[in-house]
Chain A
């Protein structure tokens, strides 16, 4: 699914994210909660106000997981196996929501990188996020 060119672009892109993981991750979540309020139903135990420490922490976690995935593009299934179990058996987040977070993460990238978020990078990263989502939902049934 991910071509060699895709992998190169994804790696390059992530170099620009390094150092901003917590910021980008939490902004993506914040945008997702605002644009898609139904996603808040998975976080009844969180304070979701802007600036929430819990959201920052969770954003950092999500971005770190994506960063790990970027390092393991040749074997996403294995690298994300634990997270895949977690999502299938504990969290059971409906997979439709992965697309919503993917959209918001890309909006964050576009807002921060501007022109540097080229169409080619956009295509590769969209593919990457789809692949991650597919792995996370792999064990759902």
Chain B
């Protein structure tokens, strides 16, 4: 089980409470598709992904980004039980979606850059530490049921 100090939990929840899930989620997913274009392989049904502008404005990207980040919220609410929280999603990503877990790490790192852009100085090194740990734990949990 992951051990979180009280400070780490506080840093995570205090940032999360100010996150606009729709905006940040959309931005994180858009950046993933822009910065690492090969990740578009999972989204052939999303329509126009032909340029950064197209990706940023794409309503399916926005909606899916929001969905993904909302799900992240479950981890924040269940920091002491992330493994089980993501058990079903892990199976889904393996068996139905066939997503290489490396993509979870890529998205996690991008999310942190998005948070840094939004929170600026408030996204202190200590905050980043707690969040890097969180995204790593989430990525791990999502990969856990792969077979």
In the complex with contacts A35-B132, A122-B34, A123-B35, A113-B52 CB distance below 8 A: no
Chain A residue with the shortest CB-CB distance to B118: A114
Interface of A is mostly: helix
Chain B residues closer than 8 Å to A112, beta-carbon distance: 120
Name A residues whose Cβ lies closer than 8 Å to a Cβ of B.
27, 30-31, 34-36, 103-104, 106-108, 110-115, 117, 119-120, 122-123, 126
Inter-chain contact A122/B129, CB cutoff 8 Å? no
Inter-chain contact B114/A110, CB cutoff 8 Å? yes
Q: Nearest 10 A-B pairs (CB), nearest first?
A: A110-B116, A110-B117, A111-B116, A35-B132, A123-B35, A107-B116, A31-B125, A119-B34, A110-B113, A35-B129
Inter-chain contact A34/B128, CB cutoff 8 Å? yes
State which of A34, A114, A123 has its C-beta within 8 Å of the C-beta of B34.
Answer: A123
Chain A residues closer than 8 Å to B55, beta-carbon distance: 119
| Residue B119 is within 8 A (CB to CB) of chain A in the complex | yes
> A117 vs B27: C-alpha distance in the bound complex, in angstroms?
12
